[in-house]
Chain A
Amino acid sequence: MSTFTAIGEDREIDQEEFTPGVEPQATWCPGCGDFGVLKALKGAMPEVGRTPDETLLVTGIGCSGKLSSYFESYGFHSIHGRALPVARAAKLANPGLEVIAAGGDGDGYGIGGNHFMHTARENHDMTYIVFNNEIFGLTKGQTSPTSPKGHESKTQPHGSAKDPVRPMSLSLASGASYVARTAAVNPRQAQEILVEAIQHDGFAHIDFLTQCPTWNKDAKEYVPYTDIQDSDEFDLDTGDRREAAETMYEAESRLYEGEVLTGRFYHDPDRPSYGEEKRAQGDVPEEPVAERYFEDGEWERTADRLIDRHT
């Protein structure tokens, strides 16, 4: 039993518990894909058996970052691009927490790209949801790292000359142990994938396609979509890196040709999480570090352990 009584609490959980009484109604634009993420996440939580008090949701800045306002749990609405480093430290400090990070495509693949690569590499045991609307929503429609080549916006008046980021390929190459893509228009699949991602013991990355009807009018609504697990065209072994890489590449390319391929792309259940690696080599104590501060016990002193070597 944890010193934090919410952690590991075994009880019936109602998904309505995740609706904050303070702001029960999200204020995203009508038709915004972000509603789909919120709904899928609320649906997933009772399934994975975690309560609001033992969950920490860390978000970045963007329309997507508001998720922490509309989802009831411990929340940390951080700064643009920095959700991952805040989240992964909280997990190291208290591994008992269910840690979820979320943000936009600009937030995660642009300004926070370095953290994305390294958090995936380290395989922290957490879930990372990227609201991929192929646009900077909050700042009113500028070209984002996932906007298609040629995308015109006020800041790219002649169209972007850049090839978009390949989020899943990047994630796989960096070291994520669970990689999936889902879409707001596909709530059932989204919730299933979220459940798997949260249950996965490692870095689970979900590229969540979220249409932005306000600023990305010409972007597809992500329908129709194909679930690669149900498709005859693909016979993907999600445990095989090479196959996964090829399939991701296909999916990323075809998105810009109007074909929406979703589903699970990679899953390595055996790779130990960063916390496990660190604990195994004695770098992190077995007991959550945060608990010590709330328990009685002796604290180490430099006077006893370190001063001798200086005399």
Chain B
Amino acid sequence: MTDQTLMWRIAGGSGDGIDSTSQNFAKALMRSGLNVFTHRHYPSRIRGGHTYVEVRASNEPVRSRGDGFNFLLALGDSFARSEQDGAYYGNEKVKPLTESLADLNEGGVVLYDTGFFEEADIAEIRLEERAEENGWHVYPMDLRGLAREHGREVMRNTAGVGAAAALLGQDTGYFEELVREAMSGEVMEANLTILEMAYEQASEFEFSHDLRVPTGGHDTDQALMSGSNAIAYAALDSGCRFIAGYPMTPWTDVFTIMSQNLSEFGGVAEQVEDEIAAASLAIGASHAGVKSMSGSSGGGFALMSEPLGLAEMTETPLVLVEAMRAGPSTGMPTKTEQADLEHVLYTSQGDSNRVVFAPGNLEEAYEQTRTAFQVAYDYQIPAILLYDQKLGGEMRNVDVDFFDREPDPSLGATLTEEEISEAAHHESGKFERYRHDPDDGVSPRSVPGQTGGRFLASGNEHNAVGHISEDPDNRKAQMDRRVRKLERVRAELDDSEHSHQTHHGPADADLGMLVWGSQQDTVFEAVDRLNAAGHEVKALGVSDMLPYPETEVRGFLESVRECVVVEMNATGQFRGLTQKELGQYGEKLASLLKYDGEAFEPGEVVEGFESSIDGGQPAAGNMRFVPAAGD
């Protein structure tokens, strides 16, 4: 499978338009009938710094980045230059080329811009010799010069795409179409000319490589979007009409998409002074009867701890999203990790009383965001969607029909005025918003402005009408009721036709892998390869972090002899959670960990798994293997 896919990388400086060029490239390939998947890598700098995006494309489904890549378009980092003296910072200039070459597969194709890289640069990095050693096919072209000649220098990306299309045997029709849709007037004309000229010029090379864009066809209309898009769209389709936030990478993507669309959808978006305010605003709006959300990444989410507890105690429905990046502290802002699991499960004082979902891919992100809203409002409980830089940023094609869904504006357990008039009240006229007796733990609420619905919402322990109470019997009854809600959520999720947990691989395999969140589809691809290579292994992708899907995971673990838990953190947080929730399996669960800022590649999982079942050899590269207890 690896061999038939195109794994195209565009590398340059951040600020060089790498992102949008790669999106267009991916979209054109999608329109041509291929499945596409993008993986972006960028430093935490606006200008300067080496960045790249990979587009993997195939006529088979692609649900993960590939192992390495086989086509490099190196544009050069045009901002790696000191303005004053015109000098380049150290070797920054050639970095997009050198760093990328380290991962380029044997037999790969290199297209680089001679308008940027000078002969001395190329000599310095020994490109020719290395190409020979690795069987690379190198095509130098003056992309900048071409762009300058027919338009402006910044259009070199267009030149690169045109040349790449020629080298890959793809006609430029779909690229032209995108240029026409996105631009107009002179700029459009110039880009079209450059696209064509670059295509023609590159066609004159004598091709020594065999790599070509595969051909494919889609049966249904496709849309190209990121995980962040899916989360935001699910929120909108859930009737969420209020968001408050404070920018922080990578959560900013969801915040931005919501902010750009909410007013069109009749809602309100607020950028506020800090994350404590953001979460508090979401609580205030939800309390007043609007479906609301907030979110952040690790550091900002830490600031939300206390409001999160307030939502639990006042039983204010609330959806938060947490986009993980590498921690601790500021960590590596643009790098991915799955190390906030424990933070999100337990932060805030007292027994935690929340729902946490960690979707495994784009479709799951949409589904589980919708479920998060439904559960939050039906059970008056905070629901948190936990994802990461990888899932939020990667783009994939998905069936347009997938989004053909009914909106869900239900406020859940919220009464109408008529219902309030028939509901129980304290003799003084206060509405009993926090009754002890509901079986499912959910005592329906009113919202301010409704006649006869007055109650007090308090972060202090409180009685049926919400007034502060430290009476031990009331305390126990209120705690029991709040805890009961989670049991009911678990029962509802277990009864649902669509489990959030995903099985992959042969059911009778006796070796297993457990994975959660964004690493799921990478592990699934590894499972396919391992089975193709003669192993018998299956995987379970878990999304319900809290309440934990005990029955499903126990069933899976009972069916295997050994199991490797794959996750991107240093301490095996999900493995720990699993042992805690199931109270056993310490001797069965090993960990394959990675925490260098880069997600697993499928090939790494294959390697890590193979070496681990050989008796726990140290895993290759930056992976770490922790054997099961007692091994």
Using a CB–CB cutoff of 8 Å, the interface residues on chain A facing chain B are: 2, 4-7, 9, 20-23, 52-56, 58, 61, 66, 68-69, 72-79, 81-82, 85-90, 92-94, 96-97, 114-115, 117-118, 278, 282-285, 289-290, 292-294, 299-303, 305-307, 310-311
Size class of the contact patch on chain B: 35 or more
Closest Cβ of chain B: how far from A305's Cβ, in Å?
A: 7
> Is the beta-carbon distance between B449 and A75 smaller than 8 angstroms?
no
A81 and B453 alpha carbons, distance in the complex (Å): 26
> Is the beta-carbon distance between A85 and B276 smaller than 8 angstroms?
yes
Interface string of B290-308 (1 = CB under 8 A from A): 1110000000000000110
- B18 proximity list for chain A (CB < 8 A): none
- B265 proximity list for chain A (CB < 8 A): 300, 305
List the B residue with the shortest CB-CB distance to A82: B280
- A9 proximity list for chain B (CB < 8 A): 451
- A23 proximity list for chain B (CB < 8 A): 467
Please list 9 pairs of residues, one from A and one from B, whose beta carbons are closer than 8 Å in the complex, sorted by A's number: A4-B447, A74-B449, A79-B310, A92-B268, A115-B277, A294-B416, A302-B233, A303-B405, A307-B233
> Is the beta-carbon distance between B284 and A289 smaller than 8 angstroms?
no
- B452 proximity list for chain A (CB < 8 A): 53
> Is the beta-carbon distance between B242 and A300 smaller than 8 angstroms?
no
Tell me which residues from 257 to 274 in chain B have a Cβ below 8 Å from any Cβ of chain A.
261, 263-270, 272-274
Closest Cβ of chain B: how far from A90's Cβ, in Å?
A: 4
Given A58-B284, A77-B457, A93-B288; A301-B450 close (CB under 8 Å): no
Closest Cβ of chain B: how far from A296's Cβ, in Å?
A: 11
Which listed residue, A21, A22, A92, touches B285 by the CB 8 Å rule? A92
Q: Judge if B98 is at the interface, Cβ distance under 8 Å.
A: no
- A311 proximity list for chain B (CB < 8 A): 221-224, 400
Closest Cβ of chain B: how far from A138's Cβ, in Å?
A: 12
A285 and B290 alpha carbons, distance in the complex (Å): 13
Closest Cβ of chain A: how far from B127's Cβ, in Å?
A: 38
A86 and B288 alpha carbons, distance in the complex (Å): 10
A90 and B428 alpha carbons, distance in the complex (Å): 25
> Is the beta-carbon distance between B405 and A301 smaller than 8 angstroms?
yes
> Is the beta-carbon distance between B266 and A77 smaller than 8 angstroms?
no
List the B residue with the shortest CB-CB distance to A21: B428
Nearest first, the 10 A-B pairs at minimum CB distance are A21-B428, A89-B284, A4-B449, A85-B280, A310-B223, A290-B289, A89-B281, A93-B288, A86-B284, A74-B448
List the A residue with the shortest CB-CB distance to B221: A311
Closest Cβ of chain B: how far from A80's Cβ, in Å?
A: 8
> Is the beta-carbon distance between B288 and A77 smaller than 8 angstroms?
no
> Is the beta-carbon distance between B266 and A300 smaller than 8 angstroms?
yes
A89 and B285 alpha carbons, distance in the complex (Å): 5
- A283 proximity list for chain B (CB < 8 A): 263, 268-269
> Is the beta-carbon distance between B280 and A75 smaller than 8 angstroms?
no
Which listed residue, A22, A88, A292, touches B409 by the CB 8 Å rule? A292
> Is the beta-carbon distance between B273 and A118 smaller than 8 angstroms?
yes
- B578 proximity list for chain A (CB < 8 A): none
Using a CB–CB cutoff of 8 Å, the interface residues on chain B facing chain A are: 221-225, 229, 233, 236-237, 239, 241-242, 244, 261, 263-270, 272-274, 276-278, 280-285, 287-292, 306-307, 309-310, 314, 400, 403-407, 409, 411, 414, 416-417, 426-430, 447-460, 465-468
Which listed residue, A56, A69, A294, A302, touches B448 by the CB 8 Å rule? A56
> Is the beta-carbon distance between A77 and B460 smaller than 8 angstroms?
yes
Closest Cβ of chain B: how far from A103's Cβ, in Å?
A: 13
> Is the beta-carbon distance between B448 and A293 smaller than 8 angstroms?
no
> Is the beta-carbon distance between B223 and A118 smaller than 8 angstroms?
no
Given A20-B428, A89-B280; A290-B268 close (CB under 8 Å): no
A81 and B279 alpha carbons, distance in the complex (Å): 13
Closest Cβ of chain A: how far from B395's Cβ, in Å?
A: 9
> Is the beta-carbon distance between B290 and A293 smaller than 8 angstroms?
yes
> Is the beta-carbon distance between A88 and B284 smaller than 8 angstroms?
yes
- A278 proximity list for chain B (CB < 8 A): 268
Closest Cβ of chain A: how far from B390's Cβ, in Å?
A: 20
Closest Cβ of chain B: how far from A224's Cβ, in Å?
A: 36
List the A residue with the shortest CB-CB distance to B397: A310
List the A residue with the shortest CB-CB distance to B428: A21
Closest Cβ of chain B: how far from A261's Cβ, in Å?
A: 31
Given A53-B454, A77-B468; A22-B426 close (CB under 8 Å): yes
> Is the beta-carbon distance between A289 and B267 smaller than 8 angstroms?
yes
- B280 proximity list for chain A (CB < 8 A): 78, 82, 85-86, 89, 115
Closest Cβ of chain B: how far from A143's Cβ, in Å?
A: 23
> Is the beta-carbon distance between A6 and B241 smaller than 8 angstroms?
no
> Is the beta-carbon distance between B229 and A74 smaller than 8 angstroms?
no
- A22 proximity list for chain B (CB < 8 A): 426, 428, 430, 465, 467
> Is the beta-carbon distance between A76 and B429 smaller than 8 angstroms?
no
A16 and B118 alpha carbons, distance in the complex (Å): 85
Given A20-B430, A293-B239, A301-B237; A87-B284 close (CB under 8 Å): yes
- A74 proximity list for chain B (CB < 8 A): 448-449, 453-455
- A4 proximity list for chain B (CB < 8 A): 417, 447-451
